[in-house]
Amino acid sequence: MSQIELHPDRLLPTEPSLRGIARRLYDEVAGLPIISPHGHVDPAILANDAPFGDPANLLVVPDHYVTRLLHAHGVRLDDLGVPPGNPVGDTSAREIWRTFCAHFWAFRGTPSRYWLESELVDVFGVSLRPSSETADELFDQLTERLADPGFRPRALYERFNLEVLATTDDPASHLADHQRLTEDPAWKGRVVPTFRPDAYLDPSRSDWAQQVAKLGEAAGIDTKTYDGYIAALEQRRAYFAQHGATASDHGHADAGSTPLDPADASRIFSAGLAGAATADEQTAFRRHMLSEMARMACDDGLVMQLHPGVFRNHHSSTFDRFGADVGCDIPVVAEYTQALRPLLERYGTHPNFRMVLFTTDEDVYSREIAPLAGFYPSVFVGAPWWFIDTPDAILRFRAAVTDTVGFHKTAGFVDDTRAYCSIPVRHDMARRLDAGFLARLVAEHRLPEDEAAETARDLAYQLPASTFRLT
């Protein structure tokens, strides 16, 4: 069928009695404002409020969920305009769009298809299903929509019913776009930065010394010494907090958190700057710095998000040619119980500390994350992330963690997206799935429907707001 039809009961359970309950629960939350506490939207989009470009550069080029699967089916990344903003090939937007549409069959059953179809209908009001036949007409229809002032970022912010949107930012950033928004009397929304210091904490990076120098410059503190480096990080965290940040984000290779004693830390720091640290020392320093981030979080209250366990840039020649974030990151096994113990021994019951654990290794949910969040007041269960941010995996996640921690130590849905226009459909998806999960508990007589309804509202709105200290 060439027309997309969005059924009102999509993603809800199919058994009629379950679906009835799920529909009622979904109706409770469908219209709630969106709290987006973790994502990768560029704040300049909202600061500038310029029209989005063409459909390909909006919906295909920057979405590595899409480009990776096209690449898996033999499409060259050169022909997809990757990387965004600095394309390696010289393919026109219309050609990219045609390639995407011609491969739309490859997305059957994936959340990318679900999100894209929902966006086309709900956000852009077009209903042609992408295919070789419809590619050009769809390109033209979308181009027309994007030229309309009603499709500018700020107008969409209102239409999406966004209440707060967190971005992810470089600690050396002066957050100029955030500041422009705050100072703009016409802007009524709320966009907050997130402190993402990975590049400054990992001496194994080839550019680490430059990063540390850049950090010092931003902070106005000499970072040639370990003490200066620590002070600069503290200064930048404070700067971010002053500019509205409520959280930091950490994407290390693993969750190791063993602290070093200060003399060792200082020695490895200097060796690292000089390019003389061994691989083991680099790893030890990175883990030490995770512990340091937790220590600072006890002081400044930034909620610590941990996203470990993804092998970045698995295919070197793709990385060398196209850069990071084009789809060749692959998860590895995760381990939290032992890795986080040093950190939790120190800060796990600190009243001001809070940590949200994410994983792409599903086995960890029932085995480690739920038990950790079910004991430590500081630990919260993060929503399924990246590869498992999908209808079936979200239901598996709820089934895996609820038995051990219930609902109220889970952090609420995070969209984790750089695709601004997909935000409402992603949150809507999560609300539908949680309604379906709760409906089963009601139908199995494990939870009264009034408590399920309250829980649905908590999951959709209260928990992301309170967990990420956004209230």
Enumerate residues 14-73 that contact its own copies by CB under 8 A.
14-18, 68-69, 71-73
Distance CA 302, CA 250 (A): 12
Applying CB under 8 A, what is the total number of residues that bind its own copies?
A: 94
Residue 137 phi/psi, 5° resolution? -65, -40
Per-residue mark of binding to its own copies, 174-213 (x: CB under 8 A): ----------------------------------------
Sole window of 175-183, 190-198, 242-250, 383-391 interacting with its own copies (rule: CB under 8 A): 383-391
Q: Select 22 or 142, whichever has its Cβ closest to its own copies.
A: 22
Q: How far is the CB of 397 from its own copies (least distance, A)?
A: 11
Position 377 contacts its own copies (CB under 8 A): yes
Q: How far is the CB of 287 from its own copies (least distance, A)?
A: 18
The string of DSSP codes covering 209-264 is HHHHHHHHHHHTS--SSHHHHHHHHHHHHHHHHHTT--EEEE--SS---PPPPHHH
Give the HSE-up count for residue 355: Cα atoms under 13 Å, Cβ half-sphere. 35
Q: How far is the CB of 300 from its own copies (least distance, A)?
A: 20
In the window 248-287, what residues touch its own copies (CB under 8 A)? Answer: none
Q: How far is the CB of 113 from its own copies (least distance, A)?
A: 8
Position 418 contacts its own copies (CB under 8 A): no
Binding its own copies by CB under 8 A: which of 91, 283, 390, 467? 390
Amino acid occupying residue 70 = L
Binding its own copies by CB under 8 A: which of 237, 409, 427, 431? 409
In the window 97-156, what residues touch its own copies (CB under 8 A)? Answer: 105-111, 113-114
Position 319 contacts its own copies (CB under 8 A): no
Q: Note if the bond before 448 is cis, omega within 30 degrees.
A: no
Position 1 contacts its own copies (CB under 8 A): yes
Position 352 contacts its own copies (CB under 8 A): no
Position 441 contacts its own copies (CB under 8 A): yes
Residue 418 phi/psi, 5° resolution? -100, 0
Sole window of 195-203, 244-252, 267-275, 400-408 interacting with its own copies (rule: CB under 8 A): 400-408
Binding its own copies by CB under 8 A: which of 240, 407, 413, 461? 407
Position 440 contacts its own copies (CB under 8 A): yes
